[in-house]
Chains A and B, each alone.
Chain A
């Protein structure tokens, strides 16, 4: 027996007391193998079979990146195809902090180069980047400067290849070259606000995608936007593109062809601006508006709001903040309110409604005539004397003459009645107001017209309940509906307000036999290939006044221009019908002032076009009526060429 043998077979050769037979129980080991592998198999089953679809989806998302390409936004033209907007690229210098070099020195080199290229101080860039990084948002782009000039953009594009983490971003922008005349109706586009973003994301909007903010840009957003395209690419863990998978080209947005005639729009704007200044009888106007509308379809040929402004300032909000601020805080003129869509007391133009209601309810007939003095004193309850005042002594006049000469007392007779002589439209003052309010709403007052330009206000058609509500808590004298309330309502004063557009629409309804049209600025949606996608069809509701009665009202309007209060609207060669309005109101200092209105249409026998002119100061027949005539004249000469 060698030593080695002995050593190798430890304990064996000695034959000592130690037991050297294997005795272990190996079942436990087998169980351990089975159990441990069972655990692994269970987990594999869970991951690969049960959750396999979910992981497969995550695997795809892991390595497939999408790059969104925004669609070119649809263009907006006038009815003759004149472009009113332009698409322009907005160049922005962008830094992605994540991709910047680590060291301070290298970063500063980049910042200094950027300072040279785009003029933003390196220190400012540094603090922008730092702020973002401290917020833990180093993976989000920092826009260093927006609205780079084309020259700056080109130079940055060239240089950015050597500037790690710096990129030139090009996003779609707009310019409005047609002039301030179009600002209010076109609106503008701008970056999404936080609130908008939450809503738009669900519609597939990208964060950097601009959105229409007002006017046509906002109303026809879905048409103008188009559909963004995308390229999908496979990328590896380092973010290198491995292969392009597929791409979907963006679908350009559809264009909007407006019914607006830009020549007319410019002509009307200039005309109104030329007549803002007051004279012997008219005060200085600071606000004016005009509407020119097709009497049968509701197409708007011209929609003017004065003062106007340049909507290009909103396209570059960061750059032109001061101008935007000035526009926002001009409390005197509120240029951002579209004056054609915001209400004022309509004055005597409202008499068209009162007159229609009088005939329709049978309160008067075309033959009803009365002697109208300048002042008629009536005795109210408790023997109080009310002076009913007209703007002149009309003498004995009938229905037609009452409209033509815009008699107040004749309209009082219809709306509130003459105390001690006749009742108004209803059995008492309150009912009369409610009946008159019903007809006013029939003609579209007191509610939105539904025009395809935002920023519209409904105006007010008061009634007893309304008065109680708004004057609640001010004592019975303020909340009670009085005889005078119904009277003033009948001549478009007191609490009644209406927008120039509502007046134009009401005029069209009178002219066309009772069709209350939905006005629209857009005429058609046109595809990028020039094909019409859809046309905006006329839409109307029927006013509850018979055409026979409306014909009597039209006759009054015709007489007005031929030889009544609206005579200054006369244009040779045109058969115009119209109605003036001069709404009196008290200025804050107590002095009396007037709004000037004219609303009319032509030709009288086959109404084609309605025009409504409004100045915040002036006498209707003196200031507004002549312009109404001139606008109609221009329309038939230039827009509706034979």
Chain B
């Protein structure tokens, strides 16, 4: 009977299910990309002077990636997410391997190794590792009754996250490491983890923290945390980005200095103004008003994502949706927090907005998976 309910649809028209496609989930994403294109244009105005239609033009390149990302989203919408959870072990192992390979073959920038250079394209395996981890976690819990109440299940789920988190940590990429644990926490919470277990785990974590601080955290990370607290101590070195982003954001005031009119951006005081510090460009040129618009788009998008988790047809779908929502939430939060000096400088792109193909394609891929979950929810409800 269940086979009939599901299999019956398989043979139908290729447009079946699209009527349930969530346009309201895609709309804020597309608006965010457009917003991002404006900011990338402004942020690159002082460094790029070539023709518009060029792959060297950050804006042109981003449009190409946006189209590629959008297509990817459509493909993944059509693809049953169970296909992905089914192969999640393989995907997970593949991304662990690519993170390992990165240690030896990767391209370094800003003191960190995060990319493969494939021709003109930089591939950032951690973007895909995050998705693979989400899929594996979802599969694991769905196979265990969607339940994290048992200590054993919780510990195993943590063991799933740890290798990826560690490999990212030694890149080093503190922001992504935190994102991994955020995803894990979100998933196990929804999977019903016992609060008592979480508290015990948190206590252990706190106990271990000093050792991590001493032996595992790189000097540069300590310095970045230090300059976050006291940026004036080191105004030209580690504190530079913190101070310049503070000045950019703060000086935007209520309405901003106007599009392409921010001195911090246009006179190159901001570093990486199209990537990690794109929010500072926004803060400077569009002010508090512009920032509220951006955050509103994100809140709308995330709430729509949570709706996907709400209506998901099965535990796997729900947990994947939760993982993806947490992923976007964590990245957005950390990126903006860095720009407003609430988090040490770490290279996390702003989803949909920051310049960068891997980020854009992977985040659209996530949206596609969410759509896949939404489009298939009735299959199970009706069963």
Contact = CB atoms under 8 A, between A and B. Distances in A.
Contacts of A63: 263-264, 267, 269
Nearest to B87: A7
A637 interface: no
B267 A55 contact: no
Interface residues of B, number: 69
A18 B293 CA distance: 44
A52 B191 contact: no
A23 B322 CA distance: 12
B302 A20 contact: no
Interface residues of A, number: 54
A43 B340 contact: yes
A27 to B, nearest CB: 9
A51 B288 CA distance: 12
A18 to B, nearest CB: 4
B143 interface: yes
Nearest to B270: A237
Given A20-B142, A44-B288, A234 B295 contact: no
B254 A48 contact: yes
A18 B144 contact: yes
A371 interface: no
Contact of B314 (A12, A37, A237): A12
B350 to A, nearest CB: 12
B146 A20 contact: yes
B316 interface: yes
A10 B139 contact: yes
A32 to B, nearest CB: 7
B312 interface: yes
B316 to A, nearest CB: 6
A58 B243 CA distance: 10
A41 interface: yes
A47 B144 contact: no
A640 interface: no
B264 A59 contact: yes
Interface string A218-239: 0000000000000000111110
B339 to A, nearest CB: 9
B302 A24 contact: no
Contacts of A30: 303, 306
Nearest to A27: B306
A37 B253 contact: no
Nearest to A53: B253
B142 A10 contact: yes
Nearest to A7: B86
A30 B191 CA distance: 15
A5 B5 CA distance: 12
A618 B86 CA distance: 122
Interface string A1-36: 100010111111101011111111110111011101
7 contacts: A7-B82, A29-B325, A33-B299, A36-B329, A41-B295, A62-B264, A234-B267
Given A24-B318, A26-B310, 11 more contacts: A5-B6, A10-B316, A17-B145, A19-B145, A24-B322, A25-B190, A43-B341, A44-B340, A55-B253, A59-B247, A237-B267
What 8 A-B pairs come out closest when comparing CB atoms? Answer: A55-B250, A8-B82, A24-B190, A59-B251, A52-B253, A236-B267, A22-B318, A18-B145
